[in-house]
Amino acid sequence: MANQKKAAGETKEAKATKAAAEASDASKFVEDLAEKDDFSQWYLDLVYKAELADESPVRGCMVIRPYGYALWENMQRAMDARIKATGHENAYFPLFIPGGFLEREAEHVEGFAPEVAVVTRAGGEELTEPLVVRPTSETVIGHLYAKWVQSYRDLPLLYNQWCNVVRWEKRTRPFLRTSEFLWQEGHTVHRTEEEAEAETLLILNDVYQDFFLKELAIPGIPGLKSESQKFPGALRTYTIESLMGDGKALQSATSHNLGQNFARSFDIQFQDADGVVKHAWTTSWGASTRMIGGLIMVHGDSSGLRMPPRVAPVQAVIVPIWRKEEERAAVAEAVGKVEAALRAAGIRVKSDWREERPGFKYNDWELRGVPVRLEIGPRDAQNGQVVLVPRTDRAAKETVSQDGVARRVQEVLETIHTTLFEQALAFRKSRTYQVSSYDEFREILADRARMGFIEAWWCGDGACEAEIKAETQATIRCLPLEHPEGAGTCVHCGRAAGVWAIFAKAY
Amino acid sequence: MANQKKAAGETKEAKATKAAAEASDASKFVEDLAEKDDFSQWYLDLVYKAELADESPVRGCMVIRPYGYALWENMQRAMDARIKATGHENAYFPLFIPGGFLEREAEHVEGFAPEVAVVTRAGGEELTEPLVVRPTSETVIGHLYAKWVQSYRDLPLLYNQWCNVVRWEKRTRPFLRTSEFLWQEGHTVHRTEEEAEAETLLILNDVYQDFFLKELAIPGIPGLKSESQKFPGALRTYTIESLMGDGKALQSATSHNLGQNFARSFDIQFQDADGVVKHAWTTSWGASTRMIGGLIMVHGDSSGLRMPPRVAPVQAVIVPIWRKEEERAAVAEAVGKVEAALRAAGIRVKSDWREERPGFKYNDWELRGVPVRLEIGPRDAQNGQVVLVPRTDRAAKETVSQDGVARRVQEVLETIHTTLFEQALAFRKSRTYQVSSYDEFREILADRARMGFIEAWWCGDGACEAEIKAETQATIRCLPLEHPEGAGTCVHCGRAAGVWAIFAKAY
């Protein structure tokens, strides 16, 4: 109670200063981690201690525990609403793909063949044609689209599926890179190249970027992939690239204009209005449980996760506080009332009645990143009050009347969303560089305390890009959609350069 | 319009007679089909023509098309709400299971080994231990539960997952029996046998049976499986058995009390309050896309599907009618207004502006089973009216004011739910027999026009059960939870019998 009074008595200015100090402490902690190369361990600790996921008995596969899966369900719901609002329908295609299908698209098989899992026995017999466990479904869906598309009247075909896919990875990390992961994959068919390109960008902007900004509070950068980084078989790949707390980039969602490549390989043809039979234009686009890894690494701090409020599995936790047994009933009554009020307002709320000390519970829920903590002790119960503590700023602790608590929690959840976004944006800006020389480029990327996005002119030559990668481990993350006009000289080779690129080390 | 006036002018009695006639026509149609052994073809035609599913290039696997998947999403939402309301949380476990896991439970491996698909190569290498694609997840989940459960304080553990599973089937049929299917599988851990049994029955009654009655309008019969029919590794299996339109039974969802079998095989132990380390008691329960097959075969009629309104992908379809181009604008305005009103009321509505004749559209939407059709022509537009036709009774066509249409559609949807349920129940009753001799038993099961559920006393001897199956192809579907008191003589062997059983041929 002492802390609470002190906090309530502070001026607004003092609070703001404290908040800024705390934010920078948190950020400094993560930066320190990165510098000491402990960031990976911090990430794993958070994933396991917050019970988002656990290791599985199958190498490289993970178990998503209820707290992690509830987060995924909220993310799915928000993403699915955007997918449907833009005119798409969900469907379900088979897990298995006939082995020969992958080979029909030359680049595609080259990209995926090394990492597929193959079923060779089923129902007690050797299969005559082995089956690939889908690493992505362009091929099997292409086969069906060839059957379903006959006339221009059948177009566009705008389907999506939520499913599991398997890509056998040598080095895995929960959420970021696992042999099995969950995702959505959209697959569309169009009459013209322009329509396919418009679809690819619609998904990038109105589905993915909108989702990252408004749901995950992540300021990703939408852009085009270079030729070397595009999806195997695509004409063009667009991406959202986000900057993690250690200064490395994460490719967070991708949208591919497949041109007519898959339409040719799988005979997706239609009779156009002019009577001519033509190959269709297709797109595909995906976002996966990898986004959960991004969310952890963008928002986490020294105390643990910080869940973006709109997708948080628990938005507010109520911690009852009592010492004597005779205080319990009054506290329980207040907790029940507050919980009911929050639930009625559509807030995802949980009361923590475990037999543990309040301090243990505070730490536990901070670790799990619950946006708002509500503390209710005997005096609060008596005074019709609640103590509210936002996860993003302990010093902004406030006392709220029980009658107004639901409304106040909603306001604070919105504030926390904005705070998380602004902190992530400020961090990204502080770690985005426009360098004047390749020496500076290398220095920044070699320094764990400074590493981040480097923006520079690039000549557009893949050989130059490959040399940069060999020398610095940095890749072109994207050619951002928003970029300076004009031209310059390539940051690596010094030749005339017309392409503005973002380089970074990446997950 | 002529039809409409005639319908509107009919007396209530005339309508009711017509409705009964139509219902019996529909039912007669399906019975005729069954008699002629055309029921299977009728089923396949419906699945493909209504675009619920399509064949896939992988034998035995199906593609669920958007109309079928939207149905599944609605079913999932309704089932998931019940799973969560009874205290369960969702999680996600790996697709792959180490080959050795299955073997740890003797009955389990015997039951599933013959139908598993096995991954032997991954990432370009032969695997040292082959991986089984999950046919069900008791084993891999058991492995994790052993890790998560330590103390009686960790119990109960109440988790569920929505996922795909693979069981390699020789003879497949879309939705009813496919090598890959979608389902939910719940897996729980308890402190005592009583708690595990209570959970098994809670799921059977409050989740599954409630779902079948209130969402699918299917009057299934909850009961216990006989020893020969229970889940491999279970102590007891409970089931919901539904009667299809051809008089065969469909096992529609199952709930298993696993006793301590899997807890022993996977070392799921906890320290109880008395300090003693004990094996836990577990349950598992599942319901799958098979339910879609059941829905088709219970409610379908001579015109096609009849979707239970609460899960129907489209609850109301609006068919605009116009001849002259100058009529189109007024009709479009009325259609827009009605569509908006229905959508605002939470009704899933679609307007069909395809360039086809109204009659074609009527047939198409009847085939797809949309519960309510709304027709709007120029005169309706002018008079602020809509013609409403329920899928269950064309003769009950009525004219409704546009202002009241949303409310009226909601009422009619509820009526249709009740009608579907009552028709299915009446059919089930008409096809349920209490026989006085084994001769009668055999005669009924040999007659496609009479086949159904046979209720009879059974001696409880598995050998007797096996003989009945060999002689009649009928199996014990369940020992119904509601049954007569007392005892009788076994329908087959004539010995004293204390078990009341339901026999039928089954899918």
DSSP string, B129-175: EEEEEPSS-HHHHHHHHHHH--BGGG--EEEEEEEEEE---SS-BTT
Q: Which residue of A has its CA nearest to B96?
A: A58
CA dist A54 and A61 (Å) reads 9
Q: Judge: B144–A54 Cβ closer than 8 Å, yes or no.
A: yes
Summarised one tens digit per residue, pLDDT across range A418-427 is: 999 999 999 9
pLDDT class of A1 with cuts at 50, 70, 90: very low
* Mean pLDDT of the A271-281 span: 98
pLDDT class of B250 with cuts at 50, 70, 90: very high
Q: Cβ-count burial of A469 within 10 angstroms (0-12 exposed, 13-18 middle, 19+ buried)?
A: middle
Which pLDDT score is estimated for A66? 98
Q: Which fold has domain A431-504?
A: Translation Initiation Factor IF3 (3.30.110)
Neighbours of B398 (CB within 10 A): 15
Q: Judge: B118–A114 Cβ closer than 8 Å, yes or no.
A: no
- pLDDT at residue A507 is higher than 60: yes
CB A312 within 8 A of CB A74: yes
CATH label, B53-213+266-278, candidates 3.30.70.360, 3.90.245.10, 3.30.930.10, 2.50.20.10: 3.30.930.10
Question: The domain A2-37+304-427: what is its CATH number?
Answer: 3.40.50.800
Which pLDDT score is estimated for B21? 47
Residue owning tokens 């909220």: A74
CB A335 within 8 A of CB A376: yes
In this structure, what DSSP letter does residue B63 have? E
Neighbours of B112 (CB within 10 A): 21
CB B439 within 8 A of CB B467: no
CA angle A374, A214, B314 (to 5 degrees): 105
Summarised one tens digit per residue, pLDDT across range B147-205 is: 999 999 999 999 999 999 999 988 999 999 999 999 999 999 999 999 999 999 999 99
* Mean pLDDT of the B419-427 span: 97
pLDDT class of B78 with cuts at 50, 70, 90: very high
Q: Which fold has domain B432-504?
A: Translation Initiation Factor IF3 (3.30.110)
pLDDT class of B28 with cuts at 50, 70, 90: low
- pLDDT at residue B37 is higher than 80: no
Which pLDDT score is estimated for A7? 40
Q: Judge: B118–A121 Cβ closer than 8 Å, yes or no.
A: yes
- pLDDT at residue B6 is higher than 80: no
Can you say how many angstroms the Cα of residue B312 is from the centroid of all Cα atoms in its chain? 13
A145 CA: distance to closest CA in chain B (Å):
11
The closest CB to that of B180, out of A89, A90, A95, belongs to A95
Tokens, residue A412 = 């604070």
Contacts of residue B148 in chain A, CB cutoff 8 Å?
Answer: 54
The closest CB to that of A61, out of B54, B96, B163, belongs to B96
- A231-235, B107-111, B221-225, B322-326: which has the minimum mean pLDDT? B107-111
Return the domain boundaries, chain A: 2-37+304-427, 59-218+259-299, 431-504
Phi, psi of A134 (to 5 degrees): -50, 125
The closest CB to that of A92, out of B91, B143, B182, belongs to B182
Write down the mean pLDDT value for chain B: 93
B10 CA: distance to closest CA in chain A (Å):
41
pLDDT class of B8 with cuts at 50, 70, 90: very low
- pLDDT at residue A438 is higher than 60: yes
Phi, psi of B265 (to 5 degrees): -65, -30
Q: Which residue of A has its CA nearest to B182?
A: A92
Q: Which residue of B has its CA nearest to A112?
A: B123
- pLDDT at residue B27 is higher than 70: no
CB A312 within 8 A of CB A348: yes
pLDDT class of A33 with cuts at 50, 70, 90: confident
Write down the mean pLDDT value for chain A: 93
* Mean pLDDT of the A156-169 span: 97
Which pLDDT score is estimated for A471? 96
Which pLDDT score is estimated for B25? 53
Exposure string of B255-292, with b = 16+ CB inside 10 Å and e = fewer, is bbbbbbbbbebbbbbbeeeeeeebbbbbbbbbbbbbbb
- pLDDT at residue B216 is higher than 80: yes
Summarised one tens digit per residue, pLDDT across range A367-416 is: 999 999 999 999 999 999 999 999 999 999 999 999 999 999 999 999 99
Q: Judge: B89–A72 Cβ closer than 8 Å, yes or no.
A: no
pLDDT above 70 covers a percentage of chain A that reads 94
Which pLDDT score is estimated for B4? 37
The closest CB to that of B159, out of A66, A147, A179, belongs to A66
CA dist B241 and B480 (Å) reads 9
Summarised one tens digit per residue, pLDDT across range B332-383 is: 999 999 999 999 999 999 999 999 999 999 999 999 999 999 999 999 999 9
CA dist A370 and A67 (Å) reads 11
Residue owning tokens 């009020």: A341
CA dist B406 and A480 (Å) reads 48
* Mean pLDDT of the B217-228 span: 97
- pLDDT at residue A353 is higher than 70: yes
Neighbours of A363 (CB within 10 A): 14
- A28-37, A251-260, B80-89: which has the minimum mean pLDDT? A28-37
* Mean pLDDT of the A13-42 span: 64
CA dist A276 and A344 (Å) reads 59
Tokens, residue A44 = 């794993």
pLDDT class of B9 with cuts at 50, 70, 90: very low
A171 CA: distance to closest CA in chain B (Å):
12
Contacts of residue A171 in chain B, CB cutoff 8 Å?
Answer: none
Summarised one tens digit per residue, pLDDT across range A84-141 is: 999 999 999 999 999 999 888 888 888 888 999 999 999 999 999 999 999 999 999 9
CATH label, B2-37+303-427, candidates 3.30.70.2190, 3.40.50.720, 3.40.50.800, 3.30.2350.10: 3.40.50.800
- pLDDT at residue A201 is higher than 60: yes
Q: Judge: B180–A122 Cβ closer than 8 Å, yes or no.
A: no
Helices B438-446 & B462-472, crossing angle to 10 degrees? 40
**Range A59-218+259-299 has CATH code 3.30.70.1140:** no
Q: How many cross-chain Cβ pairs, A to B, lie less than 8 Å apart?
A: 158
Contacts of residue B121 in chain A, CB cutoff 8 Å?
Answer: 117-118, 120, 130
Contacts of residue B356 in chain A, CB cutoff 8 Å?
Answer: none
pLDDT class of A19 with cuts at 50, 70, 90: very low
Beta bridge partner(s), residue B464: none
- pLDDT at residue A470 is higher than 50: yes
Largest Cα separation within chain B, whole Å, is 85
The closest CB to that of A90, out of B58, B73, B168, belongs to B73
The closest CB to that of B66, out of A91, A124, A166, belongs to A91
CA dist A266 and A189 (Å) reads 12
Whether residue B156 is preceded by a cis peptide bond, meaning omega within 30 degrees of 0, is yes
Neighbours of B238 (CB within 10 A): 28
Which pLDDT score is estimated for B241? 98
